[in-house]
């Protein structure tokens, strides 16, 4: 053909060959979707990937394994002024990293694989998906960590049970709440950063830096105040307070409160970014 | 029905889609064509509410996607094949999507059967081939039995049986009264599947019409005329006569002429009047693929060039000649009409196509005009496989050794 026809970009009325007037209607009844559907979906998701089994398996191994070891190596007198759940503390300091990893992976693995586009195409109500993820993950993390801490407490009590008046039920709930909230914070950070390695690194920084930095900050007078605050509120120290390892009053409530605040702020940030950004 | 109005998307200072307006109607397969990077996928993502348009809007059935109640029951989409968590089994993947939209679990097994993945339903999708991934993506799109379906490059990675299956699936879905919107960069594929075409290039609308009209407008025929090779002055004489009569004449590499704007009998009469003998006068039709390439050639973002291999070369000994570059390739406009006996594409032949052309490969690009002589170093030149020369065609052989120094088609 010799005359290259210029493309006609502005065709006012493309004439259609008669599209049939009937349009398709599915025989399957359409239900109005709600959070319950998203929760069921996220439950299927979290239990159908191996990373869940791995991270939670290692978490249980660390908390219960180290807990049992510590319990067998301690004397009865050690539990006169600390709860029977203290052996779980040592495992939790390591095990919280597993929950951080799982929390990040729950959301960032969807971004990494492109699954998120499929998810948000199926449910353009993005906030509902994130809510379901947060709730399901929190429930799983809380149940598993409470189970692990409780198991260690029961075991320790059965070994050193003659100490009377040792109330340790509260430490199970608070300890489980603390590590689960760390996981939820990781999920929110993962949703904002959308990158597994980046989000896990960021969370390790959040957990470890306040525990390490005070060692340097305390040398300088001007930084001493910040250093002391970090020392007081860092994650391992917060867990230590929850398990009554230092004899101050409060039992780590202030530390728990700070984590609740930080997590809430991160969740708000995650929701805002989720609705605004392109996927 | 999908309706886009003034859709624009900018990423920083790069405009991916600009002022795109179109409608996709139910009951037909609508093809969405454009070269790589022309904005097809961006448009698809904006339709699905994944990307927010910078300006303009797109609605499905009158509503923006993100306002749809139970979107999966109204719109099914295959975006990219591997938008799947590889660690999850095919069935779990579909099950979590079904639960999200309140679709009963038995529907999952149903669509697994439809796409033929029931035997690997329990396997993790990480190990799936590209074709199996496409099938899983199509299963996810069909899950909600939706009224509107979007497929982004659905035949990528499928075997011929799979391609045929997708083609028939899309046609049958449209025949049920659904809206089917399929993107592709293969004109040949769209010509077989779609009834309506929306062509974009560099994010802008190039064409929006039915395939029938597209063929009529863009694939106009031409006549091939050859005068005796031995008498070049006859050729000049005929060219002058034809141009005077209002025809457009393009010389071809092998000495023939490509004439448009004049019917065959008139060309014959003019030749007779000018006292020129003709060796050949034959009707030809430019293929749809060619028309598409010509339409989009100005809008191609990524164009390959010849690998000069200069980094690997030894310095030439004095007096040695560097190999002549392959004419055509890598230069703007090399998609322009090839010599007709090579340009035939088996796809999208409108009825009444002249027979007796050597078959080109199904996706073989037409070779550049003035194809390189055999033996010339040209490792990457895309050349249609040389078919058997039909005895009925008295013209010069298709792969006549062309003089590399001869000027290319004057255009």
pLDDT tens digits along A14-73: 334 444 456 788 888 888 999 999 999 999 999 999 999 999 999 999 999 999 999 999
Residue-number span of the structural domain to which A50 is assigned: 36-276
**A145-196 tens-digit pLDDT:** 999 999 999 999 998 876 666 788 899 999 999 999 999 999 999 999 999 9
Residues B213 and B241 in one domain: no
The verdict on B109 touching A (C-beta cutoff 8 Å) is: no
Mean pLDDT of chain B: 78
CB contact under 8 A, A4 and B99: no
Residues B141 and B269 in one domain: no
**Minimum distance, in Å, between the CA of residue B411 and any CA atom of chain A:** 9
Q: What is the separation of C-alpha B304 from the centre of its chain, rounded to a whole number of angstroms?
A: 17
Establish if B364 belongs to a structural domain. Answer: no
**What DSSP string describes B86-109?**
TTSBHHHHHHHHHHHTT--THHHH
**Given pLDDT bands bounded at 50, 70 and 90, which one contains residue B368?**
very low
CB contact under 8 A, A121 and B75: yes
Residues B43 and B129 in one domain: yes
Establish if B291 belongs to a structural domain. Answer: no
Residue B60 pLDDT greater than 90, yes or no: yes
Q: Kindly list the residues from chain B whose CB atom is less than 8 angstroms away from the CB atom of residue A17.
A: 28, 195-196, 210, 212
Residue B394 pLDDT greater than 50, yes or no: no
Residue B104 pLDDT greater than 50, yes or no: yes
**Given pLDDT bands bounded at 50, 70 and 90, which one contains residue B373?**
very low
Establish if A24 belongs to a structural domain. Answer: no
Residue B353 pLDDT greater than 70, yes or no: no
Task: Count Cβ atoms below 10 Å from residue A206 Cβ, excluding itself.
Answer: 18
**Minimum distance, in Å, between the CA of residue B308 and any CA atom of chain A:** 31
Establish if A217 belongs to a structural domain. Answer: yes
| Domain total in chain B | 2
- Compute chain A's Rg from CA coordinates: 26
**A101-120 tens-digit pLDDT:** 999 999 999 999 999 999 99
Q: How far is CA B5 from CA A9, A46, B46, B56, B63, in A?
A: 14, 40, 12, 6, 13
Q: Indicate the pairing of strand B148-152 with strand B248-251.
A: unpaired
pLDDT of residue B328: 45
Establish if A176 belongs to a structural domain. Answer: yes
Residues B112 and B196 in one domain: yes
Closest C-alpha among B59, B90, B35 to residue B299: B35
**B124-144 tens-digit pLDDT:** 999 999 889 999 999 999 999
Distance separating alpha carbons of residues B233 and B12, to the nearest angstrom: 58
Q: Kindly list the residues from chain A whose CB atom is less than 8 angstroms away from the CB atom of residue B25.
A: 16, 19
Domain closes at, from B201, B217, B233? B217
Q: Kindly list the residues from chain A whose CB atom is less than 8 angstroms away from the CB atom of residue B242.
A: none
Backbone φ, ψ for residue A183 (5° rounding):
-65, -40
Closest C-alpha among B47, B66, B56 to residue B8: B56
B-proximal residues of A, 6-45, CB under 8 Å: 7-9, 11, 14-17, 19-20, 22-28, 30-33, 37-38, 40-42, 44-45
Establish if A26 belongs to a structural domain. Answer: no
What is the percentage of chain A residues whose pLDDT exceeds 70?
Answer: 90
Residue B83 pLDDT greater than 50, yes or no: yes
Residues B96 and B235 in one domain: no
Residues B117 and B42 in one domain: yes
pLDDT of residue A22: 61
The more confident residue out of A13 and A232 is A232
Segment A118-138 shows an average pLDDT of 96
Residues B125 and B242 in one domain: no
Q: Kindly list the residues from chain B whose CB atom is less than 8 angstroms away from the CB atom of residue A28.
A: 73, 103-104, 107, 145
Domain closes at, from B169, B197, B217? B217
Establish if B365 belongs to a structural domain. Answer: no
Q: B241 near B270, Cβ under 8 Å?
A: yes
> Which domain CATH number covers B241?
3.30.70.100
pLDDT of residue B392: 43
Q: Kindly list the residues from chain B whose CB atom is less than 8 angstroms away from the CB atom of residue A120.
A: 48-50
pLDDT of residue A186: 97
CB contact under 8 A, B96 and A42: yes
Domain closes at, from B163, B187, B217? B217
Task: Count Cβ atoms below 10 Å from residue B15 Cβ, excluding itself.
Answer: 16
Establish if A138 belongs to a structural domain. Answer: yes
Q: Kindly list the residues from chain A whose CB atom is less than 8 angstroms away from the CB atom of residue B104.
A: 28
Establish if B398 belongs to a structural domain. Answer: no
Which of B3, B49, B99, B261 to probe by mutation at the A interface, max A CB count within 10 Å? Answer: B99
Segment B164-182 shows an average pLDDT of 94
Residue A5 pLDDT greater than 70, yes or no: no
**Given pLDDT bands bounded at 50, 70 and 90, which one contains residue B113?**
very high
Segment A96-105 shows an average pLDDT of 96
> Which domain CATH number covers B184?
3.40.50.300
Enter the tokens of residue A166.
Answer: 């040792």
CB pairs under 8 A between A and B: 200
Query: In this complex, which of A30, A49, A109 lies closest to B70 when CB atoms are compared?
Result: A30
pLDDT of residue B121: 95
Query: In this complex, which of A25, A118, A124 lies closest to B68 when CB atoms are compared?
Result: A124
Establish if B77 belongs to a structural domain. Answer: yes
Task: Count Cβ atoms below 10 Å from residue A202 Cβ, excluding itself.
Answer: 18
pLDDT of residue B324: 52
| Domain total in chain A | 1
Residues B37 and B155 in one domain: yes
Residue B349 pLDDT greater than 50, yes or no: no
Which of B12, B38, B96, B134 to probe by mutation at the A interface, max A CB count within 10 Å? Answer: B96
Establish if A79 belongs to a structural domain. Answer: yes
CB contact under 8 A, B291 and A28: no
**A65-93 tens-digit pLDDT:** 999 999 999 888 888 888 899 999 999 99
Residue B202 pLDDT greater than 90, yes or no: no
pTM of the model: 0.77
pLDDT of residue A196: 95
pLDDT of residue B20: 95
B-proximal residues of A, 117-136, CB under 8 Å: 117-125, 129
Residues B147 and B191 in one domain: yes
Establish if B354 belongs to a structural domain. Answer: no
Q: Kindly list the residues from chain B whose CB atom is less than 8 angstroms away from the CB atom of residue A31.
A: 70, 101-102
ipTM computed for the complex: 0.87
Establish if A19 belongs to a structural domain. Answer: no
**A190-243 tens-digit pLDDT:** 999 999 999 999 999 999 999 898 888 888 888 888 888 888 899 999 999 999
Residue-number span of the structural domain to which B40 is assigned: 2-217
Establish if A86 belongs to a structural domain. Answer: yes
CB contact under 8 A, B96 and A19: no
Establish if B377 belongs to a structural domain. Answer: no
Segment B195-200 shows an average pLDDT of 93
Residues B140 and B154 in one domain: yes
Beta strands (DSSP E) in B253-345 are 257-260, 280-285
- In Å, the largest CA–CA distance within chain B is 80
What is the percentage of chain B residues whose pLDDT exceeds 70?
Answer: 74
* Range from A6-10, B179-183, B309-313 that averages highest in pLDDT: B179-183
Which residue of chain A comes nearest to B72, CA vs CA?
A122
Residues B179 and B230 in one domain: no
Residue B354 pLDDT greater than 80, yes or no: no
Residue A100 neighbours by CB under 8 Å, 6+ apart: A182, A183, A186, A200, A203, A204, A207
**B319-341 tens-digit pLDDT:** 665 555 454 444 443 444 444 43
A-proximal residues of B, 286-345, CB under 8 Å: 286, 290-291, 294-295, 336-337
Q: B146 near B60, Cβ under 8 Å?
A: no
Residues B19 and B138 in one domain: yes
Segment B70-95 shows an average pLDDT of 91
Establish if B360 belongs to a structural domain. Answer: no
Residue B49 pLDDT greater than 60, yes or no: yes
CB contact under 8 A, B258 and A124: no
Closest C-alpha among B293, B287, B258 to residue B348: B287
């Amino acid at each position: 053909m010799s005359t290259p026809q210029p493309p006609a970009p502005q065709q006012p009325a493309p004439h259609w060959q008669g599209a049939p007037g009937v349009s398709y209607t599915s025989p399957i009844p359409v239900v109005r979707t709600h959070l319950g559907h998203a929760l069921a979906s996220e439950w299927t998701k979290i239990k159908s990937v191996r990373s869940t089994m791995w991270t939670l398996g290692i978490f249980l191994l660390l908390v219960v394994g180290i807990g049992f070891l510590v319990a067998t190596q301690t004397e009865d007198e050690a539990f006169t002024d600390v709860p029977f759940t203290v052996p779980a503390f040592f495992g939790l300091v390591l095990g919280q990293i597993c929950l951080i990893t799982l929390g990040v992976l729950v959301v960032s693995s969807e971004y990494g694989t492109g699954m998120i586009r499929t998810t948000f195409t199926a449910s353009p109500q993005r906030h509902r998906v994130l809510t379901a993820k947060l709730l399901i993950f929190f429930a799983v993390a809380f149940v598993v960590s409470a189970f692990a801490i409780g198991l260690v407490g029961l075991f320790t009590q059965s070994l050193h049970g003659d100490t009377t008046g040792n109330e340790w039920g509260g430490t199970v709930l608070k300890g489980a709440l603390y590590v689960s909230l760390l996981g939820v914070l990781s999920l929110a950070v993962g949703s904002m950063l959308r990158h597994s390695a980046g989000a896990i690194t960021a969370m390790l920084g959040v957990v470890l830096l306040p525990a390490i930095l005070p060692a340097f900050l305390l040398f300088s007078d001007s930084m001493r105040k910040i250093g002391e605050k970090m020392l007081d509120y860092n994650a391992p120290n917060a867990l230590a307070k929850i398990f009554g390892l230092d004899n101050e009053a409060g039992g780590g409530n202030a530390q728990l409160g700070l984590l609740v605040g930080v997590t809430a702020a991160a969740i708000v940030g995650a929701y805002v970014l989720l609705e605004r950004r392109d996927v | 029905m999908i309706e886009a109005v003034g859709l624009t998307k900018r990423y920083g200072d790069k405009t991916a889609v600009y002022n795109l307006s179109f409608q996709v109607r139910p009951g037909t397969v609508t093809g969405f064509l454009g070269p790589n990077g022309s904005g097809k996928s961006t448009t698809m993502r904006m339709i699905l509410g994944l990307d927010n348009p910078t300006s303009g809007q797109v609605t499905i059935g009158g509503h923006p996607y993100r306002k749809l109640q139970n979107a999966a029951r109204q719109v099914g989409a295959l975006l990219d094949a591997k938008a799947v968590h590889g660690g999850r089994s095919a069935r779990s993947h579909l099950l979590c999507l079904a639960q999200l939209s309140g679709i009963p679990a038995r529907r999952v097994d149903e669509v697994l059967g439809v796409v033929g993945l029931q035997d690997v339903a329990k396997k993790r999708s990480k190990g799936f081939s590209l074709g199996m991934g496409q099938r899983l993506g199509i299963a996810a799109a069909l899950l909600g039995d939706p009224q509107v379906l979007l497929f982004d490059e659905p035949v990528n990675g499928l075997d011929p049986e799979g391609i045929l299956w997708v083609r028939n699936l899309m046609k049958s879905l449209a025949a049920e009264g659904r809206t089917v919107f399929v993107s592709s960069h293969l004109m040949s594929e769209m010509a077989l599947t779609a009834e309506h075409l929306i062509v974009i290039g560099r994010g802008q609308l190039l064409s929006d019409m039915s395939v029938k009209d597209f063929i009529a407008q863009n694939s106009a025929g031409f006549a091939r005329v050859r005068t005796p090779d031995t008498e070049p002055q006859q050729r000049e004489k005929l060219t002058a006569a034809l141009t005077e009569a209002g025809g457009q004449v393009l010389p071809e590499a092998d000495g023939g002429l490509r004439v448009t704007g004049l019917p065959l009998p008139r060309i014959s009469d003019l030749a007779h009047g000018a006292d020129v003998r003709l060796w050949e006068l034959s009707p030809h039709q430019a293929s749809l693929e060619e028309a598409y390439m010509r339409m989009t050639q100005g809008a191609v973002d990524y164009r390959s060039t010849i690998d000069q291999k200069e980094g690997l070369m030894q310095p030439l000994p004095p007096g040695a000649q560097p190999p002549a570059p392959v004419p055509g390739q890598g230069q703007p406009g090399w998609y322009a009409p090839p010599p007709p006996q090579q340009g035939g594409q088996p796809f999208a032949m409108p009825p009444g196509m002249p027979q007796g052309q050597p078959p080109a490969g199904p996706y073989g690009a037409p070779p550049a005009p003035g194809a390189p002589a055999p033996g010339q170093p040209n490792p990457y030149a895309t050349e249609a496989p040389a078919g058997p020369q039909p005895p009925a065609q008295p013209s010069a052989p298709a792969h006549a050794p062309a003089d590399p120094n001869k000027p290319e088609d004057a255009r």
